Each structure stands twice: as structure tokens, then as C-alpha cells.
């Protein structure tokens, strides 16, 4: 019985969970405003309400000149909830794993449990966020309507790809990237940091068509006359600019946010070990 008790690492467990939540909240608060601006611009561009560039210019101008009109809004609050909860789920899963397997508090895992936990939270909240955004920034003059199951499925597939590239690939790719970095370069950037930026950004080239199709199915529901050829033409036309916008969205969301969350969590956990 005594050996069984020693197999659990419960040292400073309450403080460790608090550190998980603090680092996740800091990352979420840092990235929420800019991601909300980018998400709005993509939604408005796809629905025809505004162009991508005009929407970005208007929102960035408001952020600089009237920050409260961006920071204290429902879109920013939704993005804070989305990313804060996503990072918190990944962090607490790592803490659960370090506790159950008697590992150091700063342990970072990469496997199916972490993917399942973080993707479940992210996909659920992101679908809700997209539903709200689609109603707020959808086609002008059309009444809000429920998001259909096909759009939900496409958004879920899109988000699962991003979560896999953001939480599972970086710990696996980091050591491999380190092998290609010179000693002088590793003083400035690690393989783990590079992977945290590169993997989520690269996967957007593959997930953007799912995103555009999900939005188009919402804006032009099946049975409304839109053919698959017309849908493909819209995707083909918007693929690269939307992918570029989503890369710009993902770099702060899971690049900057991921690095901030990881480093802040580690700095606090090392002190609690």
C-alpha cells in the first residue's frame, strides 16, 4: 500500500493545476483580440458582407484608436474562452499524466489522450464560436439561421487537423528539427519552438478548403441551387487568400499562444517540482 501511494506525484498538486489555468488564461488573453479580428474578416469576406482587406483595416484601426470596441466585445470573449479552455485542457491532461505516472510536474505529453481531450474541448467551443460568428457576420440582409450538420462536420474536421498539428506534432517534430539546427542557431530558437510555429501553420493549406466549404454550405444551403462546381469555384478562388489569412490567424493562436503557454507553464512547474 505504501509503494502504491508513492507511485503518484501529488506534490503541490493544487498549485500545479493553478499554474495550468494561469498559463492557459494568459495565452488566451494575449491572442484573443487579433484572432477575433482575423476570424471576422474571413467570415465577412466569404459571406460577401465585406472584403478581407477592408474588414482587417477597419478592425485594426478600431483596435488602435478605440481598443474597447475590440477588446470588450463578444467575439473577443468567445476567442478567449476558446483558446483559454483549449490550452487548459491540454495543460491539465499533462498534469494528470505526471501525477498518475509519478513524473516531473513539467512533463509535456504527446499522444492520443491529449489529442482527444484538447480536440474535444476545442472542436466543441470552436463550432459554437463559428455558429455565433456566422450569424453575426453572415450574408447581409439574410435572417440568422441554425448551422447545419454538414457545416458542423466540416468545421470539426478542420479543427481536429489544427489541434493535431498544434499539440501532437510539435513534441514529435521538435527533436528532429533540432538535429538540423546549428549550435549557434539553437541559442536563439529551439526545434520545439520552430515546430510550434510551423506545424499548425502548414496544416492550414489542407484544412482551409474544409473551412470554406463549411461556410459556403451555411451561406448557400443544399437545395438552394448551388452546384458542387460552383462551390468548388468559390473554394478555388478563395483558397490561397483564405489560407494566408488562416495562417496569420494560427500563428498567434497556436504559435505565439502555444509558446507562451508552454514556456509560462514550464517556468511555474519547475519551481513546484
Closest CA to 87 of 217, 261, 259: 261
State pLDDT tens for residues 162-193. 999 998 999 889 999 988 888 888 888 888 88
* Angstrom distance (rounded) from CA 200 to CA 182: 24
Give how far Cα 216 sits from Cα of 35, 153, 209, Å: 21, 13, 10
Cα 196 to the chain's mean position, in Å? 12
Q: Please give the full DSSP string across 44-98, using - where no structure is assigned.
A: HHHHTSS-HHHHHHHHHHHHHH-THHHHTSHHHHHHHHHHHHHHHHHHHHHHHHH
Burial of 118 (0-12, 13-18, 19+ CB in 10 A): buried
**pTM for this entry:** 0.82
CB 273 within 8 A of CB 9: no
pLDDT at 4 over 50: no
CB 128 within 8 A of CB 146: no
142 — pLDDT class (breaks 50, 70, 90): low
State pLDDT tens for residues 33-60. 999 998 898 888 878 888 888 999 999 9
State pLDDT tens for residues 224-240. 778 899 999 999 999 99
Amino acid at each position: 500500500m505504501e509503494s502504491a501511494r508513492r507511485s503518484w506525484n501529488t506534490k503541490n498538486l493544487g498549485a500545479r493545476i493553478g499554474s495550468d489555468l494561469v498559463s492557459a488564461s494568459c495565452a488566451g488573453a494575449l491572442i484573443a483580440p487579433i484572432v477575433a479580428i482575423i476570424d471576422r474578416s474571413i467570415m465577412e469576406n466569404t459571406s460577401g458582407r465585406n472584403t478581407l482587406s477592408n474588414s482587417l483595416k477597419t478592425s485594426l484601426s478600431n483596435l488602435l484608436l478605440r481598443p474597447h470596441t475590440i477588446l470588450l466585445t463578444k467575439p473577443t470573449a468567445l476567442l478567449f474562452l476558446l483558446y483559454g479552455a483549449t490550452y487548459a485542457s491540454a495543460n491539465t491532461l499533462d498534469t494528470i499524466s505526471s501525477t498518475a505516472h509519478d513524473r516531473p510536474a513539467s512533463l509535456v505529453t504527446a499522444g492520443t489522450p491529449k489529442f482527444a481531450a484538447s480536440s474535444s474541448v476545442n472542436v466543441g467551443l470552436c463550432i459554437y464560436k463559428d455558429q455565433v460568428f456566422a450569424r453575426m457576420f453572415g450574408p447581409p440582409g439574410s435572417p440568422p439561421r441554425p448551422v447545419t450538420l454538414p457545416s458542423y462536420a466540416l468545421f470539426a474536421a478542420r479543427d481536429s487537423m489544427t489541434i493535431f498539428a498544434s499539440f501532437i506534432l510539435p513534441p514529435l517534430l521538435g527533436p528532429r528539427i533540432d538535429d538540423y539546427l546549428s549550435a549557434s542557431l539553437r541559442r536563439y530558437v529551439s526545434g520545439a519552438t520552430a515546430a510550434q510555429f510551423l506545424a499548425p501553420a502548414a496544416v492550414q493549406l489542407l484544412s482551409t478548403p474544409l473551412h470554406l466549404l463549411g461556410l459556403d454550405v451555411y451561406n448557400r444551403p443544399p437545395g438552394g441551387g448551388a452546384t458542387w462546381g460552383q462551390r468548388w469555384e468559390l473554394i478555388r478562388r478563395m483558397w490561397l487568400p483564405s489560407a494566408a489569412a488562416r495562417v496569420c490567424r494560427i500563428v498567434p493562436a497556436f504559435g505565439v499562444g502555444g509558446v507562451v503557454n508552454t514556456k509560462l507553464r514550464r517556468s511555474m512547474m519547475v519551481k513546484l517540482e
